[in-house]
Amino acid sequence: MISLQINRGSNLALYRQISEHVKTEISNGRLPANTQLPTVRALAKMLGVTRLTVQNAYSELRADGWVEATVGRGTFVSPSVQPYRLEPTVGQYLTPDNAINDMMQINQVVGVRSMAMARPDTTLFPVEPFWRSMEKIRFLDKDLFGYGSVQGDIQLRFEIVRLLEDWGLTAVSPDDLLITSGVMQGIALVIQVLAKSGEKIVIDEPSYIGVLSIIKAQGLNPIKIQIGHDGPNLDHLETIFKQEKPKIYYTIPNFHNPTGISFSLEKRKAILELANRYEVMIVEDDIYGRLAYDEEPLPSIKQFDTQSRVIYLNGFSKMLMPGIRVGFIVMVPTLKADLLALRRAFDLCGPPFLQRALAEFLRENGFKPHIRKIRPIYKERRDTLLQALQAEMPPSVRWTIPKGGFCNWVSMPRQFAPGELYRLALQRGFAFTPGEAYDINRPQEEHFRLCFGGLTSIGIQATIKQLAQLIRSGSQSSSWLPIV
């Protein structure tokens, strides 16, 4: 029989609390496929809530595919929930490519609580105001369904300039901007323009999985630098810049993916100085920059750039919603022609209709209220995660304290064979990103990334509790030792 508790002090609506608890029970296998749920009347009585509250919870579960309702028979856990069928798809996740693939697949499987993907919560997407923006431009111009400008919709570029001014980047003109298909395309374009096959690129260890895919696809030679709680070690970075003569340093100074840390102001300035001295281009990915939960983010490295040394990338996948596929590059003059030529050779242009709708959304000042709405929600999830880690994890486990973004990085002495903890988690109906996906060469340690953007506090608590149990049991039973 279903057992769940609701909390009237929470700022999560009662119906969401119910649906989240049911999801947790389904994903951990306590409510298997085809199990009958209590009637609306019975559950409402049991919990002391109105029937409408339970109806809303069941509606959401139906809409998300977790349960099915048959008139006259009742509500049942969907036969398609499949936490236990995931294992075969993750047999080979030890490359960045497979890891991304895996995350995106898990994302589409009903019945898994996923902390694997650094993505915003679907239920917080500003779909309604965005739809109103689409309706406003509906009769504007059929050309919005024709070929667009390679550089991207001019009105969108104007609106992004306004945003950038707000963020302290005051010297950008619409002509400096190239709209891309997500930040991912921005990174791919910039890296291909700056470095040829075999040339060197410095990346953080660990770094964004997507950039590992790009490096592999373009045949580049990655040089890794470990990062601490406030950025890379500067002496180490200087040695690399000096000895390896890399073309690029790609990094994420704000709410870093996957570690969640942020670079100190001093390190931002020092990195730029080193880049200027050794003539290394900095590719600054600021995709999480506006998702700050404690204080406003520090100035971007680009703000100090006087020598066109920094290429600044950002986009709307985390701040608004990834499905519109809009990122942008703040180009430097010397690379503009090459970047536009390469974008033409990649895919010509993006969908002008979505770009203009986003311009309209921004013009109507849809951005700030959305950020004001989502920040406290993600902040609460971040807080819940840190509290749960503190409460549940054994002392050997350490983690970062993210002040924004979606990522938290956990480290511990190795106690499972590579991938084993991940497999055990999937068997129990939840997921995270295993450290192996990041290609880290530290066999004595075990790492993983926990993304707290996509789950509510209820889901986060349940997940961390299970994860801690796995780790505690592993430290008692596991006989695996690394062979160094």
Residue 334 interacts with a second copy (CB under 8 A): yes or no: no
Q: Beta partners for 411?
A: 398, 447
- By C-beta, is 75 or 181 nearer to a second copy? 181
What residues between 51 and 90 interact with a second copy by CB under 8 A? Answer: 63
Q: Beta partners for 201?
A: 222, 248
Pairing relation of β-strands 327-330 and 310-315? antiparallel
Q: Alpha-carbon distance 161 to 165, whole Å?
A: 6
Q: Beta partners for 447?
A: 411
Q: Please say whether the beta carbons of 96 and 258 come within 8 A.
A: no
Amino acid at residue number 270 = A
- By C-beta, is 434 or 474 nearer to a second copy? 434
DSSP state of 437: G
Residue 143 interacts with a second copy (CB under 8 A): yes or no: yes
| Residue among 355, 471, 436, 448 at smallest CA distance from 118 | 448
Q: Which two tokens stand for residue 231?
A: 């950025």
**Binding span for a second copy by CB under 8 A among 71-79, 319-327, 361-369, 406-414:** 319-327
**Pick from 14, 57, 61, 214: which binds a second copy (CB under 8 A)?**
214
Residue 97 interacts with a second copy (CB under 8 A): yes or no: yes
DSSP state of 146: S
**Pick from 184, 358, 374, 464: which binds a second copy (CB under 8 A)?**
184
Residue 162 interacts with a second copy (CB under 8 A): yes or no: no
Q: Which two tokens stand for residue 339?
A: 């970047």
- By C-beta, is 6 or 144 nearer to a second copy? 144
**Pick from 345, 391, 401, 481: which binds a second copy (CB under 8 A)?**
345
**Pick from 14, 54, 117, 227: which binds a second copy (CB under 8 A)?**
117
**Binding span for a second copy by CB under 8 A among 157-165, 240-248, 348-356, 438-446:** 348-356
Residue 435 interacts with a second copy (CB under 8 A): yes or no: no
**Binding span for a second copy by CB under 8 A among 238-246, 336-344, 400-408, 441-449:** 336-344
Residues binding a second copy: number (CB under 8 A): 61
- By C-beta, is 143 or 364 nearer to a second copy? 143
**Binding span for a second copy by CB under 8 A among 97-105, 155-163, 258-266, 423-431:** 97-105
Nearest approach, Cβ of residue 480 and a second copy (Å): 30
Q: Alpha-carbon distance 185 to 179, whole Å?
A: 9
Q: Write the binding mask 217 to 236 for a second copy: x where contact by CB under 8 A, - elsewhere.
A: xx------------------
Residue 93 interacts with a second copy (CB under 8 A): yes or no: no
Q: Please say whether the beta carbons of 231 and 207 come within 8 A.
A: no
Residue 354 interacts with a second copy (CB under 8 A): yes or no: yes
CA Rg value for the chain: 23
Q: Which two tokens stand for residue 86?
A: 């995931």
Can you say how many angstroms the Cα of residue 266 is from the centroid of all Cα atoms in its chain? 26
**Pick from 83, 111, 152, 182: which binds a second copy (CB under 8 A)?**
182
Q: Alpha-carbon distance 413 to 445, whole Å?
A: 5
Q: Beta partners for 310?
A: 282
- By C-beta, is 182 or 434 nearer to a second copy? 182
Residue 210 interacts with a second copy (CB under 8 A): yes or no: yes
Nearest approach, Cβ of residue 104 and a second copy (Å): 6
Nearest approach, Cβ of residue 185 and a second copy (Å): 4
Neighbours of 326 (CB within 10 A): 28
Residue 359 interacts with a second copy (CB under 8 A): yes or no: no
Nearest approach, Cβ of residue 165 and a second copy (Å): 26
Angle at the Cα of 266 from the Cα atoms of 265 and 268, rounded to 5 degrees: 65
Q: What residue ranges in 141-267 does DSSP mark as E strands?
A: 177-180, 200-205, 221-228, 231-232, 248-251
Residue 122 interacts with a second copy (CB under 8 A): yes or no: yes
Q: Please say whether the beta carbons of 59 and 74 come within 8 A.
A: no
**Binding span for a second copy by CB under 8 A among 96-104, 162-170, 409-417, 474-482:** 96-104
Q: Please say whether the beta carbons of 421 and 474 come within 8 A.
A: yes
Residue 130 interacts with a second copy (CB under 8 A): yes or no: yes
Angle at the Cα of 367 from the Cα atoms of 364 and 371, rounded to 5 degrees: 150
Q: Please say whether the beta carbons of 198 and 221 come within 8 A.
A: yes
Residue 13 interacts with a second copy (CB under 8 A): yes or no: no
DSSP state of 323: G
**Contact positions vs a second copy (CB under 8 A):** 63, 97, 100-101, 104, 107-108, 117, 119, 122-123, 125, 127, 130-131, 134, 138, 141-150, 180-182, 184-185, 188, 192, 197, 210, 213-214, 216-218, 317, 321-325, 340-342, 344-354
